[in-house]
Amino acid sequence: MNQLPSAGGAGDSGDGLGFDRRAGQPPVAVYVHTPFCPTKCGYCDFNSYAMEGEIMARTTAAMIEEIRRSPWRGQPAKTIFFGGGTPTYLPTDQLLAILAAVVEVHPPIDDAEITSEANPGTVDADKFGAMREAGFNRVSLGAQSFLDDDLLRLGRIHVAGQIEAAVAKARDAGFDNLNLDLMFALPGQSLRAWDQNLRRAIGLEPEHLSLYCLTLEPNTPFYRQHLRGLLIQPDEDDQVEMYELARDRAADAGYAHYEISNFAKPDRESRHNLAYWRAESYAGYGPGAVGFMDGVRTTNWKHPERYIEAVQSGAPTAFEHESIGESTHRLEQIMLGLRLSEGIPVALAEEEGLRAMTSRGWVDLSSGRVVLTPDGQHFCSEVALALA
């Protein structure tokens, strides 16, 4: 049962934190960024820090403060997503205290999707049990590979056996909505090894699969190794073959391919990520969190110490505010919406570009919307630019 902490405090201005000024507004997606990981993976360019101890407690306190001072206080949550970093690396009491603050400020709607990312090496039965009890109802496990050699190479802290154990513990705790993240095009990975990974993942019967191609981002150790010729990924043709194999295996197992890299059992799409892909509003909290509310995109201070300083001094937690005008928003709707199997409304697309993309066979209009064809999925950015 979903035993969310009481939202009864919301609207009480007696604590000096302000009115529920956004009560009655349509429910929004809420993102919470926890920035800590046990170690830094070699390919990671996320806002994550290999730190532990008292900095975690201070960051948690600052996050709770930021959330409780939110200008969006009172606006209900349709989804809440804890990402990172590794949310499950936080001590359980801290993780749940942040959730309680979010629930106080953004009362979840009845069937709200409340997700936490989790690293298989940072969870146990007690943690999952407490998370489920507190209201989390979805877990996204960063599996990445079922081969220990790959995991070691990637710098992950878990081994393959911990993925199966984590899935079993999550199920025991009552989670009936699980995602597994896997990556392909890993250094030295063969098509056969990727196929084994897909089979192992599908064999665990998650409700959702996120299957991403490893990208080498500048400023990562992997990128530098690649420049020195020490890290070689499968070539582009092999990557296409891996992607197509993923599509086939997922389809055979009954997953709908609803977004370029994401596959779901019926009604198990990530509702939180759908809000991003549909270019909807979302509130963001925590170090480095991005939000998009009332047409303004904000980015919080990234380093935990800088973020804490901003919260404690009462300064804005965001160091960047960008007004998203109509034309930029339209471009984002096209770029993000094309990733979805539902596509975008025809009216969003520029006519000449639409004709060109249709004649190339990269988009299909038969549903009454603009949808990428399987071939077009390999050229999503090019199509988006042509339609903008």
Helical residues (DSSP H) of the chain, grouped into ranges:
54-68, 92-105, 125-134, 148-154, 160-172, 191-203, 221-227, 236-252, 271-277, 304-313, 326-337, 351-359, 380-387
* Residues of span 7-36 touching ligand SF4 by CB under 6 A: none
Which of these, 243, 174, 171, 176, lies nearest to 213 by C-alpha position? 243
For residue 112, give the 3-state DSSP assignment. strand
Interhelix angle 54-68/304-313, nearest 10 degrees: 50
CA 160 to chain CA centroid, nearest Å:
22
What is the Cα gyration radius of the chain? 21
Nearer to ligand SF4, 84 or 376 (CB): 84
C-beta of residue 51 within 8 angstroms of C-beta of residue 36? yes
Nearer to ligand SF4, 119 or 239 (CB): 119
Smallest separation, CB 353 to ligand SF4 (Å): 36
Collect all residues with Cβ–Cβ distance below 8 Å to 188 and sequence separation of at least 6. Answer: 153, 232
Nearer to ligand SF4, 86 or 333 (CB): 86
* Span interacting with ligand SF4, options 2-10, 84-92, 126-134, 211-219, rule CB under 6 A: 84-92
- Name the burial class of residue 349, with classes exposed (0-12), middle (13-18) and buried (19+) by CB atoms within 10 angstroms of its CB: buried
37 scored as a contact of ligand SF4 (CB under 6 A): yes
273 scored as a contact of ligand SF4 (CB under 6 A): no
For residue 114, give the 3-state DSSP assignment. strand
84 scored as a contact of ligand SF4 (CB under 6 A): yes
**Residue burial 37-46, b: 16+ Cβ < 10 Å; e: rest:** beeebbbbeb
* Span interacting with ligand SF4, options 51-59, 80-88, 168-176, 344-352, rule CB under 6 A: 80-88
What is the C-alpha to C-alpha distance for residues 134 and 143, in angstroms, rounded to an integer?
Answer: 24
210 scored as a contact of ligand SF4 (CB under 6 A): no
Nearer to ligand SF4, 46 or 379 (CB): 46
Nearer to ligand SF4, 140 or 239 (CB): 140
48 scored as a contact of ligand SF4 (CB under 6 A): yes
159 scored as a contact of ligand SF4 (CB under 6 A): no
Number of residues located near ligand SF4, criterion CB under 6 A = 11
Collect all residues with Cβ–Cβ distance below 8 Å to 133 and sequence separation of at least 6. Answer: 3
For ligand SF4, the binding residue among 76, 85, 234, 291 (CB under 6 A) is 85
For ligand SF4, the binding residue among 7, 44, 61, 130 (CB under 6 A) is 44
Smallest separation, CB 42 to ligand SF4 (Å): 9
319 scored as a contact of ligand SF4 (CB under 6 A): no
For ligand SF4, the binding residue among 30, 41, 98, 147 (CB under 6 A) is 41
Smallest separation, CB 257 to ligand SF4 (Å): 24
Smallest separation, CB 209 to ligand SF4 (Å): 17
Site string for ligand SF4, 116-155 (x = CB under 6 A): ---x----------------------x-------------
Name the site residues for ligand SF4 (rule: CB under 6 A). Answer: 37, 40-41, 44, 46, 48, 84-86, 119, 142
